[in-house]
């Protein structure tokens, strides 16, 4: 599911609810409430169904479902093991039993009243799960894990309910929002656990229905102490259940030779770092050469490459002087393009030996495409295919085109400050490294690096703490500065039209339509002139310089459909 679906769902759920309930609150100021004016139930109920409506709209708009029938089937798949239904009952018992012991009940109805009321609660809150647990919580879980996603959703869910506390005629009106919010925390952890362990939206709906029916049937007084104790117990049980589930899944994965590791490798006489991730180590190897120079990507690649791990062994390498491989003791004299090609060759050979494979797929991005193209030309025997992303061709011409595009955009948009700064630094080659940074700053502003965003934003929102490591951000910044200082001049002299006229493996260039960091026109021209047994230009319509990260799902589809065909 793409992030656009998640954002659209959340925005719509709030917009529909707050507008609808806002109408009820407004009329309530004049004494017009649902208690006497039944027509007000229309906006009241519309607000309550906001997550359900928003779910269907967001999923349809983004092509996640084909229609209403599929949506209903995805929510109401009831065929699940009996132990999952028992889990739902246990979690509800963990909520109500302690509450009744601590707070007592105002009025205890017969058990059949709870049973009869439960299906009615489908329209009294249960269908909210078609949004919160179908879309929001599982998608946040993928990004930041069960615990943080539960904390985030509990806050979002509480805020979404807030207008009800201002609306005369509701059960929430005049009660404590703090007590309610504490209660929501435990419920969110429980519902998140149900969704994660069972994979079922319906069981989340069932839990919600039983909970709301039980709240009416048992009529337990709301107290701060009772809710704190219940929330703590429900959260602890849910966390324990998820930990057991994840441990069992990890053991199962281990039997499938899954790999997820960070390792040091001796390359070119120094220690350099690689990350290896895959669902199965019998998958073909996909070796990434990051851009920059110095933009080491181990720290921010996990989330964006997760879709590749089912079909490939995904290898990221922080090159010498970059990221985890940065060291203040590194000799600047070793920072030569030829050395990087040699390091990449040594790494490729060691990976093939380790995984007992004949060849691998090499992916070079931007600066990494210089290393990649040279290695592909030098050692075609190691490769099934070569993929160039933001492929460098002729740096001198490319920098001029990039500068001209940036100036043109500055004038077109009437950005006088940009025009002044760009005219001050003049055309490339730039006199100082800082001047190139100024051009890149405005290029980024005009969408020539990341379409509709900024390159640093893309990087920082994708960073995972466990991959960044202690002091990782400091190393990343130091490595970037060190690499640019020692490699920028060499990079600017590169002309692959002359240096690499032929590659004897299948070649694919992935080009973003908005790429003016390394202008796409030159990549297309280079591929046209390059001699190769098979070559193809793959366009990414909504990307600039990082299509593999800007459109990760499209890139994965390309890898699965095109690259796997190269493996014999």
Whether residue 9 is predicted with pLDDT greater than 80 in this model: the reply is: yes
pLDDT of residue 251: 66
Whether 25 has a pLDDT exceeding 70, the answer reads yes
Mean pLDDT for the stretch of residues 272-298: 95
Average pLDDT, integer, range 216-240: 90
Active-site residue, 366 included: yes
The verdict on 40 and 159 lying in the same domain is: yes
State whether 277 and 220 are in the same domain: no
- Which of the two residues, 256 and 272, has the higher pLDDT score? 272
- Please state which of the ranges 133-147, 227-241, 465-479, 536-550 shows the lowest mean pLDDT: 465-479
Percent of the chain with pLDDT over 90: 73
Residues 311 and 378 in one domain: yes
Token pair in block for residue 548: 């593999």
Domain boundary among 234, 252, 270: 252
Give residues with Cβ within 8 angstroms of 454, minimum separation 6: 444, 445
| Cα separations in angstroms, 102 against 183, 186, 236, 298 | 15, 17, 18, 51
The H or E element spanning position 233 is helix 224-255
pLDDT over 60 (residue 70): yes
For the question of residue 545 being annotated catalytic, the response is: yes
Q: Are residues 475 and 355 in the same domain?
A: yes
Domain boundary among 230, 252, 274: 252
- Measured between alpha carbons, how far apart are the two ends of the chain, in Å? 32
Residue 471 DSSP symbol: T
Dump pLDDT digits (tens) for 446-472. 988 888 777 778 887 888 877 887 678
Pairing of strands 313-318, 507-512: unpaired
The predicted pLDDT at position 255 comes to: 57
Half-sphere exposure for 202 (CA within 13 Å, toward CB): 14
Q: Are residues 211 and 233 in the same domain?
A: yes
Q: How much is the average pLDDT of 215-231?
A: 87
pLDDT in tens, 313-359: 999 999 999 999 998 889 999 999 999 999 999 999 999 999 999 99
Could you tell me the CATH number of the domain that includes residue 264?
A: 3.40.50.1820
Of the listed 325, 366, 369, 543, which one is catalytic?
366
Q: For residue 93, is pLDDT > 90?
A: yes
542: how many CB neighbours lie within 10 A of its CB? 13
Q: Which pLDDT tens digit goes with each residue over 380-411?
A: 999 999 999 999 999 999 999 999 999 999 99
Are residue 361 and residue 441 in the same domain, yes or no? Answer: no
Q: Name the percent of the chain lying above pLDDT 70.
A: 98
* Whether 245 and 274 share a structural domain: no
Residue with tokens 């459909």: 561
* Secondary structure (H, E, C), 347-386: HHHHHHHHCCCCCEEEEEECHHHHHHHHHHHHCHHHEEEE
Residue 202: pLDDT above 70?
yes
Residues 429 and 482 occupy one common structural domain: no
How many angstroms separate the CA atoms of 290 and 479, rounded? 13
User: Which of residues 252, 272, 291 is at a domain's end?
Assistant: 252
Q: Sheet of 383-389: strands edge to edge?
A: 259-267, 270-278, 313-318, 285-289, 360-365, 383-389, 507-512, 535-540
Would you say residue 136 has pLDDT above 70?
A: yes
| Claim to verify: residue 43 and residue 172 sit in the same structural domain | yes
The confidence score (pLDDT) of residue 250 equals 67
Query: Looking at the 3D structure of the chain, how many domains does it have?
Result: 3
**218 and 277 in a common domain:** no
Residue 542 is among the residues annotated as catalytic for this protein: no
**137 and 18 share a domain?**
yes
* Torsion angles phi and psi, residue 262, rounded to 5: -120, 125
Residue span of the structural domain in which 44 resides: 3-252
Crossing angle of the two packed helices 337-354 and 472-492, in degrees rounded to 10: 120
What is the rounded average pLDDT of the residues 248-270? Answer: 79
Extended beta strands in 192-312, E state: 259-267, 270-278, 285-289
Q: 438 preceded by cis ω (within 30°)? A: no
406, 498: one domain? no
Catalytic-labelled residue, pool 141, 318, 444, 515: 515
Residues 6+ away with beta carbon under 8 Å from 175: 165, 222
């Amino acid at each position: 599911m793409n992030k656009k679906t998640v954002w659209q769902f959340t925005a719509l759920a709030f917009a529909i609810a707050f507008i609808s309930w806002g109408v009820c609150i407004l009329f309530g100021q004049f004494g017009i409430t649902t208690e006497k004016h039944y027509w007000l139930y229309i906006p009241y109920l519309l607000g309550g169904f906001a997550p359900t409506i928003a779910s269907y709209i967001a999923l349809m708009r983004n092509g996640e479902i084909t229609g209403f029938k599929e949506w209903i089937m995805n929510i109401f798949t009831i065929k699940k093991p009996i132990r999952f239904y028992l889990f739902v009952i246990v979690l509800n018992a963990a909520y109500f039993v302690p509450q009744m012991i601590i707070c007592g009940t105002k009025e205890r109805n017969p058990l059949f009243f709870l049973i009869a009321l439960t299906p009615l609660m489908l329209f009294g809150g249960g269908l909210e799960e078609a949004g919160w647990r179908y879309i929001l919580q599982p998608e946040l879980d993928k990004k930041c894990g069960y615990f943080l996603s539960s904390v985030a959703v509990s806050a979002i869910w509480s805020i979404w309910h807030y207008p009800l506390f201002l609306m005369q005629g509701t059960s929430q009106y005049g009660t404590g929002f703090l007590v309610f919010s504490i209660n929501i925390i435990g419920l969110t952890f429980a519902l998140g656990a149900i969704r994660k362990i069972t994979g079922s939206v319906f069981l989340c709906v069932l839990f919600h229905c039983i909970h709301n029916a039980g709240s009416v049937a048992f009529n337990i007084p709301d107290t701060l102490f009772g809710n704190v104790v219940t929330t703590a117990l429900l959260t602890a049980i849910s966390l324990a259940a998820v930990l057991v589930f994840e441990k069992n899944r990890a053991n199962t994965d281990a039997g499938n030779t899954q790999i997820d590791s960070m390792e040091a490798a001796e390359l070119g006489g120094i220690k350099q770092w690689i990350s290896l991730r895959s669902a199965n180590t019998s998958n073909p190897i996909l070796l990434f050469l990051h851009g920059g120079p110095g933009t080491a990507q181990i720290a921010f690649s996990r989330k964006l490459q997760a879709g590749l791990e089912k079909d490939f062994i995904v290898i990221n390498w922080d090159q010498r002087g970059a990221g985890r491989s940065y060291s203040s003791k590194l000799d600047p004299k070793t920072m030569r393009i030829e050395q990087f090609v040699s390091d990449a060759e040594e790494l490729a050979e060691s990976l093939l030996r380790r995984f007992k494979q004949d060849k691998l797929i090499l992916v070079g991005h931007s600066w990494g495409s210089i290393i990649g193209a040279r290695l592909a030309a030098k050692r075609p025997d190691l490769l099934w295919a070569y993929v160039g992303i933001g492929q460098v061709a002729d740096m001198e011409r490319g920098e001029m085109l990039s500068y001209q595009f940036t100036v043109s955009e500055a004038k077109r948009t009437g950005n006088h400050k940009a025009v002044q700064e760009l005219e001050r630094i003049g055309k490339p080659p730039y006199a100082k490294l800082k001047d190139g940074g100024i051009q890149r700053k405005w290029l980024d502003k005009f969408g020539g690096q990341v379409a509709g965003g900024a390159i640093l934003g893309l990087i920082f929102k994708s960073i995972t703490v466990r991959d960044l490591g202690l002091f990782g951000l400091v190393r990343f910044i130091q490595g970037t500065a060190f690499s640019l200082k020692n490699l920028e001049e060499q990079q600017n002299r590169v002309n692959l039209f002359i240096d690499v006229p032929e590659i004897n493996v299948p070649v694919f260039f992935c080009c973003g339509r908005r790429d003016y960091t390394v202008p796409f026109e030159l990549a297309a021209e280079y591929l046209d002139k390059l001699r190769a047994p098979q070559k193809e230009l793959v366009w990414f319509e909504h990307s600039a310089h990082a299509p593999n990260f800007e459109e990760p799902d499209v890139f994965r589809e390309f890898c699965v459909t095109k690259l796997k065909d190269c493996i014999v």
